[in-house]
Amino acid sequence: MKADLFDQRRLLELQAVDTTLTQLAQRRRKLDADPAFATASQRLRALGDKAANLTGDIADLDRDIDRVEREVDLVKKRAANDRDRMASGAGAKELEGLQSELESLARRQASLEDDELELMERREALDTELTETRRQLGEAERVLADAEADRARLLAEIEAETADAASTRQALAINIPDRLVELYERIHAKQPIAAAELVGRRCGSCRIEKSPADMIPIKSAPIDEVLRCEECGCVLIRTELPSTAPRTLASEDELKKYE
Ligand SMILES: [Zn+2]
């Protein structure tokens, strides 16, 4: 295939944009696979479960404490009744019975109050744990929100850069002869580097150095001959040869001079 060397060199610009697009796609994949987001979500879920369990345990303890308190009230009421009965002039035998019951009620009350104290201590410990868990939960929520914000920011950056590169690519491709672009696209569909500079004897894509013998046909090839690297198949661009057009292809003004 023949194509102006100047046009061939524009393939290098197309390749540079495609390399950028490949890198952007890689960044996108890396971002999707970033464990920070999953780790933060997982921690948030675990802490949420822990807080729910603690809240449940505290509710259970509160019910137990209520039950013990009601029992204490009953014991106290019964003792008060007994004392009223004693004060209202019971017989000696009845007094003895009441006295014994009061002693037993006092023991029962002391035992219930011990139980209550123990339950309240446990409740206090769980309360402290719940407060700490809620603090950690708040922190985990902030970490997750930060991770989400970071991810959204990076994603927006990648999308904007991708859109830029895609429009640059379109503008570049329009200015390269169709069959040259078609050749490039065919190669690019198979490998990431479809066009590379020949630097000295080395292919800029596969980095393999050509032998002096291999260089003979390359050196003697007409300037508008489209060369391919025999090793990797990419279009090999001779940037060290003088061409009819400037080597730097960046400036549109410069390009116009040669149109
Ligand atoms: Zn090569």
Which residues contact residue 28 at a Cβ distance below 8 angstroms, ignoring those fewer than 6 apart?
A: 155, 158, 162
Q: Choose the weakest-confidence range: 22-31, 89-98, 174-183, 228-237.
A: 89-98
Q: Provide the pLDDT for residue 37.
A: 84
Please say if the pLDDT value at position 258 is more than 60.
no
Last residue of a domain, one of 131, 163, 195: 163
Last residue of a domain, one of 113, 144, 163: 163
Structural domain containing residue 211? 5-23+172-257
Q: Provide the pLDDT for residue 242.
A: 58
Q: Which residues surround ligand 1, an ion (CB under 5 A)?
A: 203, 205-206, 229, 231-232
What percent of the chain is predicted at pLDDT more than 90?
Answer: 82
Shared domain for 134 and 36, answered yes or no, is yes
Closest by Cα among 231, 252, 79, 64 to 171: 252
Beta strand 202-203 pairing with 227-228: unpaired
Say how many Å lie between the CA of residue 184 and the centre of ligand 1. Answer: 14
What's the mean pLDDT in 26-32?
A: 94
Say how many Å lie between the CA of residue 162 and the centre of ligand 1. Answer: 27
Shared domain for 13 and 44, answered yes or no, is no
Which secondary structure element, helix H or strand E, spans residue 203, and what is its range? Answer: strand 202-203
pLDDT in tens, 184-193: 999 999 999 9
Say how many Å lie between the CA of residue 209 and the centre of ligand 1. Answer: 9
Shared domain for 42 and 157, answered yes or no, is yes
Shared domain for 61 and 158, answered yes or no, is yes
Half-sphere exposure of 256 (CA within 13 A, CB side): 3
Shared domain for 153 and 119, answered yes or no, is yes
Query: Could you write out the DSSP letters of every residue in 230-251?
Result: TTT-PEEE--SS--SS-S----
The encoded tokens of residue 167 equal 């429009």
Say how many Å lie between the CA of residue 214 and the centre of ligand 1. Answer: 12
Shared domain for 77 and 123, answered yes or no, is yes
Please say if the pLDDT value at position 105 is more than 50.
yes
What's the mean pLDDT in 103-119?
A: 97
Domain count, the chain: 2
Shared domain for 35 and 153, answered yes or no, is yes
What's the mean pLDDT in 47-61?
A: 98
Shared domain for 149 and 62, answered yes or no, is yes
Say how many Å lie between the CA of residue 161 and the centre of ligand 1. Answer: 29
Shared domain for 40 and 148, answered yes or no, is yes
Shared domain for 155 and 240, answered yes or no, is no
What's the mean pLDDT in 97-104?
A: 95
Q: Provide the pLDDT for residue 245.
A: 43
What's the mean pLDDT in 231-251?
A: 68
Q: Choose the weakest-confidence range: 10-24, 106-120, 229-243.
A: 229-243
Closest by Cα among 119, 147, 142, 151 to 47: 142
Shared domain for 63 and 135, answered yes or no, is yes
Last residue of a domain, one of 111, 137, 163: 163
Q: Considering only CA atoms, give the Rg of the chain.
A: 43
Please say if the pLDDT value at position 244 is more than 70.
no
The larger pLDDT score, comparing residue 175 to residue 256, is at 175
Q: Provide the pLDDT for residue 90.
A: 77
Shared domain for 137 and 213, answered yes or no, is no
Domain CATH number, residue 139: 1.10.287.1490
Say how many Å lie between the CA of residue 233 and the centre of ligand 1. Answer: 6
pTM: 0.68
